[in-house]
Chains A and B, each alone.
Chain A
Amino acid sequence: KAGVTQTPRYLIKTRGQQVTLSCSPISGHRSVSWYQQTPGQGLQFLFEYFSETQRNKGNFPGRFSGRQFSNSRSEMNVSTLELGDSALYLCASSLVAGGLGTGELFFGEGSRLTVL
Protein backbone atom coordinates (compact mmCIF):
# COMPACT_ATOMS: atom_id res chain seq x y z
CA LYS A 1 0.00 0.00 0.00
CA ALA A 2 1.31 3.47 -0.80
CA GLY A 3 3.05 5.36 1.96
CA VAL A 4 2.78 8.98 2.96
CA THR A 5 3.51 11.27 0.03
CA GLN A 6 4.77 14.79 0.44
CA THR A 7 5.15 17.37 -2.30
CA PRO A 8 7.23 19.16 -3.28
CA ARG A 9 10.33 17.38 -2.00
CA TYR A 10 12.57 20.41 -2.36
CA LEU A 11 11.87 24.09 -2.75
CA ILE A 12 13.65 27.39 -2.48
CA LYS A 13 11.91 30.61 -1.53
CA THR A 14 12.96 34.09 -0.58
CA ARG A 15 12.15 36.00 2.58
CA GLY A 16 8.66 37.42 2.66
CA GLN A 17 7.20 34.88 0.27
CA GLN A 18 4.72 32.21 1.25
CA VAL A 19 4.78 28.47 0.70
CA THR A 20 2.26 25.66 0.65
CA LEU A 21 3.26 22.06 1.30
CA SER A 22 1.08 19.07 0.59
CA CYS A 23 0.73 15.71 2.27
CA SER A 24 -1.24 12.67 1.16
CA PRO A 25 -1.66 10.17 4.01
CA ILE A 26 -1.82 6.43 3.80
CA SER A 27 -5.18 5.31 2.53
CA GLY A 28 -7.63 5.01 5.41
CA HIS A 29 -5.63 7.17 7.80
CA ARG A 30 -7.61 10.10 9.11
CA SER A 31 -4.95 11.80 11.20
CA VAL A 32 -2.20 13.95 9.73
CA SER A 33 0.49 15.58 11.84
CA TRP A 34 3.15 18.04 10.77
CA TYR A 35 6.62 18.42 12.25
CA GLN A 36 9.47 20.83 11.59
CA GLN A 37 12.94 19.31 11.72
CA THR A 38 16.03 21.49 12.05
CA PRO A 39 19.58 20.66 13.20
CA GLY A 40 19.30 23.06 16.14
CA GLN A 41 15.77 22.39 17.41
CA GLY A 42 15.26 18.78 16.34
CA LEU A 43 11.70 17.65 15.67
CA GLN A 44 9.08 20.15 16.72
CA PHE A 45 5.36 19.51 16.51
CA LEU A 46 3.42 21.98 14.40
CA PHE A 47 -0.15 20.71 14.41
CA GLU A 48 -2.38 17.72 13.88
CA TYR A 49 -5.57 17.35 11.91
CA PHE A 50 -8.11 14.62 12.38
CA SER A 51 -11.22 14.35 10.24
CA GLU A 52 -10.71 17.89 8.91
CA THR A 53 -10.44 19.45 12.39
CA GLN A 54 -7.30 20.78 13.99
CA ARG A 55 -6.94 18.64 17.05
CA ASN A 56 -3.67 19.84 18.49
CA LYS A 57 -1.25 22.68 17.91
CA GLY A 58 2.37 23.31 18.82
CA ASN A 59 4.06 26.56 19.75
CA PHE A 60 4.53 28.16 16.37
CA PRO A 61 3.50 31.65 15.29
CA GLY A 62 0.31 32.26 13.36
CA ARG A 63 2.30 32.41 10.11
CA PHE A 64 2.13 28.63 10.19
CA SER A 65 -1.26 27.26 9.31
CA GLY A 66 -2.76 24.12 7.94
CA ARG A 67 -5.89 22.42 6.82
CA GLN A 68 -7.23 19.00 5.98
CA PHE A 69 -9.58 18.05 3.23
CA SER A 70 -12.39 15.52 3.22
CA ASN A 71 -10.11 12.94 1.58
CA SER A 72 -7.68 13.39 4.51
CA ARG A 73 -5.05 15.09 2.37
CA SER A 74 -3.47 17.97 4.25
CA GLU A 75 -1.69 21.17 3.40
CA MET A 76 0.40 23.45 5.51
CA ASN A 77 1.12 27.05 4.67
CA VAL A 78 3.83 29.36 5.90
CA SER A 79 3.36 33.02 5.14
CA THR A 80 5.93 35.84 5.26
CA LEU A 81 8.84 33.43 5.22
CA GLU A 82 11.85 34.08 7.41
CA LEU A 83 15.37 32.68 7.12
CA GLY A 84 14.74 30.60 10.25
CA ASP A 85 11.91 28.75 8.52
CA SER A 86 14.46 26.80 6.51
CA ALA A 87 13.88 23.22 7.59
CA LEU A 88 12.69 19.77 6.66
CA TYR A 89 8.93 19.64 7.09
CA LEU A 90 7.69 16.17 7.87
CA CYS A 91 4.16 14.92 7.58
CA ALA A 92 2.95 11.82 9.38
CA SER A 93 -0.31 9.95 9.22
CA SER A 94 -1.99 7.50 11.55
CA LEU A 95 -5.22 5.60 11.90
CA VAL A 96 -6.11 7.15 15.22
CA ALA A 97 -5.49 10.63 16.54
CA GLY A 98 -1.72 10.97 16.99
CA GLY A 99 -0.24 9.94 20.29
CA LEU A 100 -3.22 7.92 21.37
CA GLY A 101 -3.56 4.19 21.10
CA THR A 102 -0.48 2.72 19.47
CA GLY A 103 1.00 6.13 18.87
CA GLU A 104 2.52 4.82 15.67
CA LEU A 105 2.99 7.50 13.08
CA PHE A 106 3.93 6.82 9.46
CA PHE A 107 6.18 9.53 8.12
CA GLY A 108 6.73 10.86 4.65
CA GLU A 109 10.19 11.73 3.34
CA GLY A 110 9.63 15.39 3.96
CA SER A 111 9.69 18.67 2.08
CA ARG A 112 12.97 20.51 2.38
CA LEU A 113 12.43 24.24 2.39
CA THR A 114 15.29 26.67 1.93
CA VAL A 115 14.61 30.35 2.53
CA LEU A 116 17.11 32.78 1.03
Chain B
Amino acid sequence: GNSVTQMEGPVTLSEEAFLTINCTYTATGYPSLFWYVQYPGEGLQLLLKATKADDKGSNKGFEATYRKETTSFHLEKGSVQVSDSAVYFCALSDNKLSFGAGTTVTVRA
Protein backbone atom coordinates (compact mmCIF):
# COMPACT_ATOMS: atom_id res chain seq x y z
CA GLY B 1 0.00 0.00 0.00
CA ASN B 2 0.93 3.66 -0.10
CA SER B 3 3.22 4.87 2.66
CA VAL B 4 5.44 7.67 3.79
CA THR B 5 8.85 7.43 5.44
CA GLN B 6 10.41 10.44 7.11
CA MET B 7 13.67 10.93 8.92
CA GLU B 8 13.61 10.14 12.58
CA GLY B 9 14.31 12.76 15.14
CA PRO B 10 14.66 14.37 17.37
CA VAL B 11 16.38 17.24 15.63
CA THR B 12 17.88 20.03 17.71
CA LEU B 13 19.07 23.23 16.07
CA SER B 14 20.18 26.70 17.00
CA GLU B 15 18.17 29.71 15.93
CA GLU B 16 18.89 30.82 12.34
CA ALA B 17 20.20 27.38 11.37
CA PHE B 18 19.09 25.58 8.20
CA LEU B 19 16.51 22.83 8.62
CA THR B 20 15.92 19.84 6.35
CA ILE B 21 13.55 17.00 7.13
CA ASN B 22 13.65 14.16 4.62
CA CYS B 23 10.49 12.49 3.41
CA THR B 24 10.12 9.75 0.81
CA TYR B 25 6.98 8.02 -0.31
CA THR B 26 5.79 4.82 -1.91
CA ALA B 27 2.63 5.08 -3.94
CA THR B 28 0.79 3.83 -6.97
CA GLY B 29 -0.23 6.70 -9.14
CA TYR B 30 0.46 10.29 -8.24
CA PRO B 31 -0.80 11.22 -4.81
CA SER B 32 -0.88 14.70 -3.35
CA LEU B 33 1.77 15.33 -0.71
CA PHE B 34 1.58 17.38 2.47
CA TRP B 35 3.50 18.60 5.44
CA TYR B 36 1.57 19.04 8.66
CA VAL B 37 2.89 20.61 11.85
CA GLN B 38 1.86 19.99 15.45
CA TYR B 39 2.84 22.65 17.97
CA PRO B 40 2.98 21.64 21.64
CA GLY B 41 -0.47 20.99 23.07
CA GLU B 42 -2.24 21.55 19.77
CA GLY B 43 -3.75 19.52 16.97
CA LEU B 44 -2.13 19.16 13.57
CA GLN B 45 -2.36 21.93 11.03
CA LEU B 46 -1.50 21.98 7.36
CA LEU B 47 1.85 23.64 6.67
CA LEU B 48 2.11 23.21 2.90
CA LYS B 49 1.10 20.92 0.07
CA ALA B 50 1.89 19.93 -3.51
CA THR B 51 -0.53 18.18 -5.80
CA LYS B 52 1.63 17.16 -8.75
CA ALA B 53 5.21 16.46 -9.73
CA ASP B 54 7.59 19.46 -9.65
CA ASP B 55 5.11 21.53 -7.65
CA LYS B 56 6.68 23.50 -4.83
CA GLY B 57 4.66 24.13 -1.70
CA SER B 58 5.65 27.02 0.56
CA ASN B 59 4.42 28.67 3.73
CA LYS B 60 5.95 30.53 6.71
CA GLY B 61 9.42 30.27 5.14
CA PHE B 62 9.15 26.49 4.70
CA GLU B 63 9.39 24.89 1.26
CA ALA B 64 9.06 21.41 -0.19
CA THR B 65 9.20 20.23 -3.81
CA TYR B 66 7.36 17.18 -5.11
CA ARG B 67 10.07 15.08 -6.80
CA LYS B 68 8.65 12.19 -8.75
CA GLU B 69 12.02 10.86 -9.90
CA THR B 70 13.27 10.44 -6.34
CA THR B 71 9.79 9.95 -4.77
CA SER B 72 10.64 12.62 -2.24
CA PHE B 73 9.09 15.67 -0.61
CA HIS B 74 11.78 17.06 1.69
CA LEU B 75 10.93 19.99 3.95
CA GLU B 76 13.38 22.90 4.20
CA LYS B 77 13.67 26.22 5.96
CA GLY B 78 16.62 28.50 5.61
CA SER B 79 16.61 30.15 9.03
CA VAL B 80 14.62 28.58 11.85
CA GLN B 81 13.23 30.36 14.88
CA VAL B 82 12.42 29.14 18.37
CA SER B 83 8.74 29.29 17.41
CA ASP B 84 9.36 26.58 14.78
CA SER B 85 9.83 24.02 17.54
CA ALA B 86 7.17 21.42 16.81
CA VAL B 87 6.54 17.96 15.41
CA TYR B 88 6.46 17.81 11.61
CA PHE B 89 4.55 15.14 9.70
CA CYS B 90 4.85 14.24 6.06
CA ALA B 91 1.66 12.82 4.56
CA LEU B 92 0.21 11.59 1.29
CA SER B 93 -3.34 11.46 0.05
CA ASP B 94 -4.62 8.10 -1.17
CA ASN B 95 -8.32 8.16 -0.38
CA LYS B 96 -7.29 9.09 3.14
CA LEU B 97 -4.28 10.88 4.59
CA SER B 98 -1.42 8.54 5.51
CA PHE B 99 1.15 10.10 7.80
CA GLY B 100 4.81 9.51 8.45
CA ALA B 101 6.05 8.89 11.98
CA GLY B 102 6.74 12.56 12.67
CA THR B 103 9.99 14.41 13.35
CA THR B 104 10.39 16.42 16.54
CA VAL B 105 12.28 19.64 15.97
CA THR B 106 13.61 21.76 18.83
CA VAL B 107 15.14 25.15 18.12
CA ARG B 108 17.35 26.68 20.83
CA ALA B 109 17.77 30.41 21.24
Show the binding face of A for B, using Cβ within 8 Å.
Answer: 4, 33, 35, 42-43, 45, 48, 56, 58, 90, 92, 98-100, 102-110
Contacts and interface: CB of A to CB of B under 8 A. Distances in A.
A103 B101 CA distance: 18
Given A33-B96, A102-B49, A103-B97, A43 B41 contact: no
Contacts of B91: 103
Instruction: Bin chain B's interface residue count.
Output: 20 to 34
Contact of B93 (A35, A58, A99, A110): A99
A100 B43 CA distance: 21
A111 B75 CA distance: 29
A100 B100 contact: no
A109 B97 contact: no
Q: Which 3 pairs show the lowest CB-CB distances between chains A and B?
A: A107-B43, A103-B93, A43-B99
B45 A107 contact: yes
B42 A109 contact: yes
A88 B93 CA distance: 22
Contacts of A58: 96
B42 A104 contact: no
Nearest to B101: A42
A56 B94 CA distance: 11
Given A107-B44, A109-B43, A56 B100 contact: no
Contacts of A100: 93, 95
B96 A99 contact: yes
A43 B44 CA distance: 11
Contact of B46 (A4, A56, A99, A104): A104
A104 to B, nearest CB: 5
Contact of A109 (B41, B95, B102): B41
Contacts of A43: 44, 89, 99, 102
B58 interface: no
